[in-house]
Amino acid sequence: MTSYKLVCVVAMAENNVIGDGRDLLWHLPGDLKRVKTLTMGCPLIMGRKTWDSIGRALPGRASIVLTRDKNWSADGAITVTSLEEAISASKAWLTEQGTQENRIILFGGGQIYKLGLPLCQEIELTRVAASPDAEAKFPEFDATDWVSENLETFEASDVAPAFSYHRLTRRGAPISV
C-alpha cells in the first residue's frame, strides 16, 4: 500500500509573513521555477483565499481547494470542506494519475498551513530577508522539532532581498497521511 507524505512548500519573511492577500510581497529570481519543480505532478492543498490570489489552476497539478462553503466551485478546482477530505481527494487524484508520486503538497495560505502543519513530514522553505507588515503569516513552530538542511543562499540584489532555501525534516518517526 502506498504511504503518502504531506510536504509544506512556503516562502516566508523573517517575521513569518507570507502574504497580504493581494500582490506578491517579493519577486525572488528563480523561486517560482523552484516551486514549479517541487510541486509538478502533485496535488496542492490550498485555502480558498490562496486560490483566489492565484486565480487559476496550475498546470500538471491538482488544485484541492478548502472552503467552508459547500456550494463554492471554480473551473479546475476540486472543492473540499475539511483537511481529511483534502487528503482523500489528493490520494484519489494521485491514484487516477497512475503515478509513483507519494507527496501531497500543503500549499497555503496561513490558515491552511496552521491546519496541516501538524501532519507535515517536510517543509520546503524559502526564507526571505525582509519583515513586511502584512496579515497572512505562517504559524509559530518549534525549530527544534525539525532537522534543517540549508540548500542554497542568495545575496540581495537591486530587484530582490536576500533569500535562502532550506529543507526541514521532522524529527522522530516519519508521519504518513
Ligand X SMILES: NC(=O)c1ccc[n+]([C@@H]2O[C@H](COP(=O)([O-])OP(=O)(O)OC[C@H]3O[C@@H](n4cnc5c(N)ncnc54)[C@H](OP(=O)(O)O)[C@@H]3O)[C@@H](O)[C@H]2O)c1
Q: Does 33 participate in binding ligand X (rule CB under 6 A)? A: no
Q: Does 88 participate in binding ligand X (rule CB under 6 A)? A: no
Nearer to ligand X, 11 or 94 (CB): 11
Q: Does 118 participate in binding ligand X (rule CB under 6 A)? A: no
Sheet harboring 43-47: ordered strands across? 77-80, 62-66, 43-47, 103-108, 5-13, 120-128, 163-170, 146-154
CB 44, min distance to ligand X, A:
10
Q: Does 140 participate in binding ligand X (rule CB under 6 A)? A: no
Q: Does 108 participate in binding ligand X (rule CB under 6 A)? A: yes
Q: Does 13 participate in binding ligand X (rule CB under 6 A)? A: no
Span interacting with ligand X, options 12-20, 98-106, 139-147, 165-173, rule CB under 6 A: 12-20
Give the residue among 77, 61, 53 at the shortest CA–CA distance from 136. Answer: 53
C-alpha–C-alpha distance, residues 36 and 33, integer Å: 5
Which SS3 state, helix, strand or coil, does residue 49 take?
Answer: helix
Nearer to ligand X, 81 or 121 (CB): 81
Which position has the grid cell 517575521?
Answer: 15
